[in-house]
Amino acid sequence: MATLISSRTHEPLVLGIETSCDETGVGVVRGHTLLADAVASSVDDHARYGGVVPEIASRAHLEAMVPTIRRALEEAGVTAADLDGVAVTAGPGLAGALLVGVSAAKAYAYALGKPLYGVNHLASHICVDQLEHGALPEPTMALLVSGGHSSLLLAPDITTDVRPLGATIDDAAGEAFDKVARVLGLGFPGGPVIDRYAREGDPAAIAFPRGLTGPRDAPYDFSFSGLKTAVARWIEARRRAGEEVPVADVAASFQEAVTDVLTRKAIRACKDEGVGHLMIGGGVAANSRLRAMAEERCADAGLTLRVPRPKLCTDNGAMVAALGAEMVARGRPASGWDLPADSSLPVTEPHVPAASAAGHHGPPSGAGRPGHGNQGHRGHRGHGHDHDHVHELSRKNLYDA
């Protein structure tokens, strides 16, 4: 018993800062234990624009940063001096927003004399499940669905090795929710409100298309743009005919199309790769139908499903702290004081080690990270396409009809 307690107290205590989009998140974790999860959201400031406005987000992060860090430390009942490290989202995300978090993390880490860990936002969305369900199985299959991303990722080691199997070729899943909600006049963000309306609707009322599910389509890629257009056209036709739009049925049928494709492809990836666990993360993982359908289909397929509670699915600081704690626990090298905010940090880079450590931060076995050789993390746009939707989303929502 005594050893158990003492080993627990030696689990790394890490503060995590997340500012990649519109949430200023600060979390504190000890190993796999969540101690605090403080979030200040600027979502209301963006609502009237129908999408996240990067400059407004950056300003809001700046104002919320210090109070949110104080609140998280207080909630956790620890002092900054107790920390074993400070972790921060280094990318991908909105450049200006990321910069606020990275600067704050550097300032705190430097002043406190603690190591700094710049980590990947996407890997953090996966790692957060350790706070809910304990150590991630290795490998883990992760379906990551948010406003900026829709990816299937195979993670043999969340601190060093994350492999993209597929991603959206156009809109992200959350983006589709946001756009359909906009067409229905339901406000922003669209996910939660569509989720609510859908509960009263018939998911089989309208047969909306399932993108990229043909026999010759890429098995792990997603496409939601055609679905979004189909929904908009259907609504338009109704309105033109002077008929009322059955909002609940449209919401339920649209949501059914998204969740059907997501779960089908994720389960197929698990089967093809021989992985027994499916993790679902990102804001869309808060969707009640996605959770229920995944539960049912995973059970039928003999797979174990891991989905964190909704609050840990949307952007938060605890997920960053969770990945930071894992970096410390596994002895991964810290980041340098020149850590950049990298808006297109590739998903294959779970963290950004100091330049001097970059050559040898692979797993202890010595196996290098797959694809590392051709994926520099600065200025590499090719792997940031999923992230670029964040910018596109804000721009489109702001300026498009």
Binding site for ligand KG4 (CB under 6 A): 21, 146-148, 174, 177-178, 189-192, 195, 282-284, 286-287, 314-315
Q: Identify the H or E element spanning 232.
A: helix 225-240
Sketch the per residue contact string, 140 through 169, with Zn ion: x for CB under 5 A, - otherwise: ------x-----------------------
The least distance separating ligand KG4 from the CB of residue 27, rounded to whole angstroms, comes to 14
CA atoms of 276 and 299, how far apart (whole Å): 11
Neighbouring CB atoms inside 10 A of 10's CB total 11
Q: Name which of 121 and 372 has its Cβ closer to ligand KG4.
A: 121
Compute the chain's Rg from CA coordinates: 21
177 contacts: CB under 8 Å, gap ≥ 6: 189, 190, 191, 194, 255, 258, 284, 287
Pick from 143, 145, 144, 138: which is nearest to 161 by CA?
A: 138
Tracing tokens 């499940």 back to the chain, one arrives at 129
Sketch the per residue contact string, 79 through 118, with Zn ion: x for CB under 5 A, - otherwise: ----------------------------------------
The least distance separating ligand KG4 from the CB of residue 174, rounded to whole angstroms, comes to 3
Spatial contact of 121 and 257, defined as CB atoms under 8 Å apart: no
Kindly report the backbone phi and psi dihedral angles of residue 89, in degrees, each rounded to the nearest multiple of 5, phi listed first. Answer: -70, 115
| 190 binding partner (options ligand KG4, Zn ion, none; Cβ < 5 to 8 Å by kind) | ligand KG4
The least distance separating ligand KG4 from the CB of residue 286, rounded to whole angstroms, comes to 4
- The residue range among 139-147, 169-177, 222-230, 244-252 that interacts with Zn ion, by the rule CB under 5 A, is 139-147
Query: How many Cα neighbours within 13 Å face the side chain of 236?
Result: 7
Length of the chain measured in residues = 401
Tracing tokens 């359908």 back to the chain, one arrives at 293
Bridge partners of 281, per DSSP, are 144
- The residue range among 138-146, 207-215, 260-268, 318-326 that interacts with Zn ion, by the rule CB under 5 A, is 138-146
Q: Answer yes or no whether residue 315 interacts with Zn ion by CB under 5 A.
A: yes
CA atoms of 240 and 233, how far apart (whole Å): 10
| 362 binding partner (options ligand KG4, Zn ion, none; Cβ < 5 to 8 Å by kind) | none
Tracing tokens 């300032």 back to the chain, one arrives at 107
Spatial contact of 324 and 85, defined as CB atoms under 8 Å apart: yes
The least distance separating Zn ion from the CB of residue 269, rounded to whole angstroms, comes to 20
| 174 binding partner (options Zn ion, ligand KG4, none; Cβ < 5 to 8 Å by kind) | ligand KG4
Spatial contact of 51 and 89, defined as CB atoms under 8 Å apart: no
The least distance separating ligand KG4 from the CB of residue 143, rounded to whole angstroms, comes to 13
Q: Name which of 161 and 315 has its Cβ closer to ligand KG4.
A: 315
Kindly report the backbone phi and psi dihedral angles of residue 228, in degrees, each rounded to the nearest multiple of 5, phi listed first. Answer: -60, -45
CA atoms of 201 and 33, how far apart (whole Å): 38
The least distance separating ligand KG4 from the CB of residue 293, rounded to whole angstroms, comes to 12
Kindly report the backbone phi and psi dihedral angles of residue 217, in degrees, each rounded to the nearest multiple of 5, phi listed first. Answer: -80, 155
Q: Name which of 164 and 190 has its Cβ closer to ligand KG4.
A: 190
The least distance separating ligand KG4 from the CB of residue 145, rounded to whole angstroms, comes to 8
| 249 binding partner (options Zn ion, ligand KG4, none; Cβ < 5 to 8 Å by kind) | none
Sketch the per residue contact string, 264 through 303, with Zn ion: x for CB under 5 A, - otherwise: ----------------------------------------
Pick from 282, 313, 312, 278: which is nearest to 293 by CA?
A: 278
Q: Name which of 147 and 166 has its Cβ closer to ligand KG4.
A: 147
The least distance separating ligand KG4 from the CB of residue 9, rounded to whole angstroms, comes to 32
| 177 binding partner (options Zn ion, ligand KG4, none; Cβ < 5 to 8 Å by kind) | ligand KG4
| 166 binding partner (options ligand KG4, Zn ion, none; Cβ < 5 to 8 Å by kind) | none
Chain residues in the site for Zn ion (CB under 5 A)? 146, 315
